[in-house]
Structure 1
Amino acid sequence: MHATIPYVIAALLFGLGVYGVLRRRNAILVLMAVELMLNAVNLILVAADATVKSTLTGVQSEAWAHPVPEPRAGAIFALFVIVLAAAEVGVGLAIVLQYYRLRRNVVLDEVALHEHDHEKVAG
């Protein structure tokens, strides 16, 4: 597989996520678009790690370096991003569900940021 294919796919996924964040009005769909962007970053991390590892296979290590191969740093960072995404989904969905219980609507254009803004929308 060519090294640029994962980068192009990740760029397309990230662009689709940005489009979803900017154009969607539903809060759940915005959270899904953010997850799409985080998954694109995970793809870039793993692809960059594999690309760098395959590029450096013939490079001699220094005398002070350990002869044992290091673990996949890109995959480890991707795991951290997955944990961050899971926490973001948990908190985001809790906020959206609570807002839905209060207002019966999750359209982001109609979210009142201040209490007096809600009075203008309701009255």
Structure 2
Amino acid sequence: MTGVSVLLAIAAGLFAAGLFGVLARRTILMQLISLEIMLAGPALAFVAAGAHHGMVEGTAMFLIVLALAAAEVALGLAIYLQLRRDAGDGDADAARRLRG
């Protein structure tokens, strides 16, 4: 296997591990962490492909994914803190209970 193949396999593994964490965990905080792991997979793939082809676009896409991850964390933590304040629970089903 070449170096880029190994990096792409690691990226796919990161994405799969994050997807499993989102589907398996019930707490919102753990789902947010799993989403960050999922976003690390494509970010690594962009950097690996950019380095393999000698192009800077892979790094530019990494910066876009990084900005998206930062926005997702900020919004997700705000929702999590509001849910903890209103429901006193960090469970994903607490949002359904609040809807009535």
TM-score of the pair, normalised by structure 1: 0.75
Is there any run of 5+ residues in structure 1 with no aligned partner, and where?
Answer: 54-70, 117-123
AA in 1 matched with 2:49: A
SS across alignment from 2:90: coil
SS at match of 1:105: coil
- May I ask how many residue pairs the two structures share in their alignment? 99
Query: Are 2:9 and 1:8 equivalent residues in the alignment?
Result: yes
Q: What is the CA–CA distance in structure 1 between the aligned matches of 2:94 and 2:80, rounded to whole Å?
A: 13
- With over 3 angstroms needed to count, the CA separation of the structure-2 counterparts of 1:45 and 1:85, relative to structure 1, is same
C-alpha displacement at 1:3, in angstroms?
A: 2.0
> Given the alignment of the two structures, is residue 72 of structure 1 paired with residue 73 of structure 2, yes or no?
no
Return the TM-score normalized by structure 2: 0.91
Structure holding more helix per residue: 2
Hey, which bits of structure 1, 4+ residues long, moved more than 3 A? none
C-alpha distance in 2 between matches for 1:51 and 1:76: 15
Check 1:74–1:113 CA distance in 2 against 1; reply closer, same or farther (3 A cut): farther
- Does 2:96 correspond to 1:112? yes
Larger Rg: 1
2:78 paired residue number: 94
TM-align CA RMSD = 1.6
Q: Give the Å deviation of 1:110.
A: 3.7
Q: Equivalent residue for 2:29? A: 28
The residue aligned with 1:52 is: 53
Partner of 1:68: none
Letter in 1 for 2:64: F
Q: Which runs of 5+ in 2 are unaligned?
A: none
Verify the 8 A CA contact 2:87 2:94 in the aligned structure 1. no
